[in-house]
Amino acid sequence: AKSAGGNRFELADAEADARAITRHGLTTALPTALERGEFFIEYQPLVHLGDGSVRGAEALVRWLHPQHGVLGPDRFIPLAEHTGLIVPLGRWVLEQSVRQAREWRELHGGAEAVGPLRINVNLSPCQLTHPGLVQDTVDILERTGIEPNALCLEVTESALIGADDDLLKPLRRLAEMGVDIALDDFGTGYSNLANLRRLPVSILKLDRSFTQSMQQFPADPVDLKIVEGIVSLAHSLDLAVTVEGVETGAQAEQLRMMGCDTAQGWYYARPGPPERLHELALVDATG
């Protein structure tokens, strides 16, 4: 790019080129990465706001790249979606996570007070439109012997905005089987609230941006009202509310008082290896 003060633009171009090259490199490396077992999953606890107990975990995928080290999902999920690798990758994540949930159950003896730990798995919009979704999920649950109601699939609000019946059908089938469907990043997609009744969801996951705005003092009163409104609407529709991005005890307390049911965030734990989740849950169960 030729322009006044061109150096800066050239630098920007060079950076953009480097990013494009990396993107290209990562994209071509994705299929072999799956074959070579370079992906792994971290688990972040889901905590009941009422009593502070660990009720389950969200599975978050990472890539241990031989040259670049650990890459977060934001670096490669969009590429996997673009190339279609997200379907086998997502299936792998689902199977691993459900197996992990069964292992916790065996270790944990099924913590009578709160029931078995639940596992939340993210679903990309591409997986939703893939015809194998329901059968793959049924197969995985049967192979591992986990009841459908220990599994929650998280779908972003934006993926379901304006969704037609064809898109909702597989989710309905899964929900009828007892799998929970959560609407992820809720509050960012401007979906019609009345539309919620049409969706086979049982959990709203309130986007981190709401929790973040509570960090500020004074918290934005409009955001507080919005959260209160969402919680009361959700409860009136029989939906549970999970909040993400809880980083302080003050936020947790505020959200608990506002009636949110479950929380997730660095205040409780960062995503980590499965043993960590097990420890947290165990400490919790034994007091």
Residues in the site for ligand C2E, rule: CB under 6 A?
Answer: 44, 60-61, 72-74, 77, 90, 93, 122, 124, 184-185, 244-247, 264-266, 271
Which window, 2-10, 17-25, 48-56, 121-129, contacts Ca ion (CB under 5 A)? 121-129
Give which of 12, 58, 90, 5 is closest to 265, Cα–Cα.
58
Q: Which does 26 bind (CB under 5 to 8 A by kind): ligand C2E, Ca ion, none?
A: none
Closer by beta carbon to ligand C2E, 122 or else 262: 122
Q: Output DSSP code: residue 65.
A: E
Smallest gap, in angstroms, from Cβ of residue 133 to Ca ion? 17
Q: Which does 93 bind (CB under 5 to 8 A by kind): ligand C2E, Ca ion, none?
A: ligand C2E
Indicate the burial class of 34 (C-beta count within 10 angstroms; 0-12, 13-18, 19 or more).
middle
Smallest gap, in angstroms, from Cβ of residue 151 to Ca ion? 14
Q: Which does 242 bind (CB under 5 to 8 A by kind): Ca ion, ligand C2E, none?
A: none
Q: Does 42 interact with Ca ion (rule: CB under 5 A)?
A: no
Q: Does 185 interact with Ca ion (rule: CB under 5 A)?
A: yes
Smallest gap, in angstroms, from Cβ of residue 48 to Ca ion? 18
Q: Which does 9 bind (CB under 5 to 8 A by kind): ligand C2E, Ca ion, none?
A: none
Smallest gap, in angstroms, from Cβ of residue 64 to ligand C2E? 14
How many C-alpha atoms does 39 have within 13 Å on its Cβ side? 29
Closer by beta carbon to ligand C2E, 152 or else 246: 246
Closer by beta carbon to Ca ion, 104 or else 210: 210
The two three-digit tokens of residue 96, written as one number: 């691993």
Note if the bond before 45 is cis, omega within 30 degrees.
no
Q: Does 122 interact with Ca ion (rule: CB under 5 A)?
A: yes
Q: Phi, psi at residue 139, to the nearest 5°?
A: -60, -45
How many C-beta atoms lie closer than 10 Å to residue 85's C-beta?
Answer: 19
Q: Does 154 interact with Ca ion (rule: CB under 5 A)?
A: yes
Site residues for Ca ion per CB under 5 A: 122, 154, 184-185
